[in-house]
């Protein structure tokens, strides 16, 4: 099976992605040498919708989800949108410090669960305690990271009536909408209260208030 990765940088004739070695597939990938080739199916899925003028962006990356926000930060800055970034991880050695994210962020906050670097707490705490006090009145969240982080951010967004777009990470078998292996529940006005949408095809970015958080 293929492995799903988010694009982290893009040049005119190349793109890059960042991954963690977690199993046989990513281990094999890490052993590839310059000149080796592999088959890639890309690009897939949708993108974040950019906010309107006057809205500040709060982008939140957790763990391996962080590099996927680099292109978003760059695009937002090119549109003259203020970018507040939070990069979070369990501990300092897992914190992904991206030069691109630093370059395109007006403010950047690092947080670790154990306090070994930056703010001690999770990403959602860092947004609430560090970023919101210095951000403007009109903001929108953009996030990619582990499910509990996205769920916590969605709850905060809901409490404060802030729009949030989240990019979901799911295992994918086909990548082009055929197998339904990556389906997630989306709220719907039917007997079940939900329908399924595919992270690889209709996603990976969804509005946080349309998702059924489990
Ligand atoms: Fe097959 Fe999404 S991975 S439908």
Please tell me if the CB atom of residue 184 comes closer than 6 angstroms to any atom of ligand 1.
no
For residue 142, the CA-to-ligand 1 centroid distance in Å is: 23
For residue 176, the CA-to-ligand 1 centroid distance in Å is: 6
SS3 at position 207: strand
First to last CA, the chain: 26
For 171-206, write each residue's pLDDT tens digit: 899 999 999 999 999 999 999 999 999 999 999 999
- Contact (Cβ atoms closer than 8 angstroms) between residue 185 and residue 212: yes
- Between 159 and 19, the more confident residue is 159
For 73-104, write each residue's pLDDT tens digit: 999 999 999 999 999 999 888 888 888 899 99
SS3 at position 9: strand
- Tell me the residue ranges of DSSP E strands in the chain: 7-10, 15-17, 56-62, 83-89, 107-112, 119-120, 139-144, 163-167, 183-187, 194-198, 205-207
Atom of ligand 1 nearest to the CA of 180: 4
What is the model's pLDDT at position 79? 94
For 137-161, write each residue's pLDDT tens digit: 999 999 999 999 999 999 999 999 9
Q: How confident is the model at residue 20 (pLDDT cuts 50, 70, 90)?
A: confident
For residue 53, the CA-to-ligand 1 centroid distance in Å is: 35
What is the model's pLDDT at position 1? 81
Residue with token string 């694009």 = 7
Atom of ligand 1 nearest to the CA of 171: 3
165-191: buried (b, 16+ CB within 10 Å) or exposed (e) per residue? bbbbbeebebbebeeeebbbbbeeeee
Q: Is the pTM of this model over 0.85?
A: yes
Q: How confident is the model at residue 105 (pLDDT cuts 50, 70, 90)?
A: very high
Q: How confident is the model at residue 12 (pLDDT cuts 50, 70, 90)?
A: confident
What is the model's pLDDT at position 94? 82
DSSP string, 172-192: -SSSSSSS-TTEEEEE-SSSS
């Amino acid at each position: 099976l293929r492995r799903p990765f988010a694009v982290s940088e893009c040049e005119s004739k190349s793109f890059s992605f960042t991954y963690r070695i977690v199993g046989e597939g990513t281990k094999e990938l890490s052993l590839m040498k310059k000149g080796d080739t592999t088959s890639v199916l890309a690009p897939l899925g949708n993108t974040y919708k950019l906010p309107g003028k006057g809205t500040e962006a709060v982008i939140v990356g957790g763990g391996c989800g962080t590099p996927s926000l680099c292109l978003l930060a760059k695009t937002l800055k090119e549109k003259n949108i203020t970018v507040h970034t939070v990069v979070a991880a369990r501990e300092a050695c897992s914190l992904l410090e991206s030069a691109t994210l630093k370059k395109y962020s007006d403010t950047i906050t690092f947080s670790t669960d154990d306090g070994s670097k930056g703010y001690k707490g999770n990403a959602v705490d860092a947004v609430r305690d560090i970023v919101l006090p210095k951000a403007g009145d009109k903001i929108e969240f953009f996030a990619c990271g582990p499910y509990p982080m996205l769920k916590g951010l969605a709850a905060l967004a809901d409490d404060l009536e802030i729009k949030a777009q989240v990019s979901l990470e799911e295992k994918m078998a086909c990548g082009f909408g055929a197998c339904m292996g990556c389906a997630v529940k989306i709220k719907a006005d039917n007997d079940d209260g939900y329908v399924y949408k595919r992270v690889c095809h209709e996603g990976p970015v969804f509005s946080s208030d349309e998702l059924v958080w489990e």
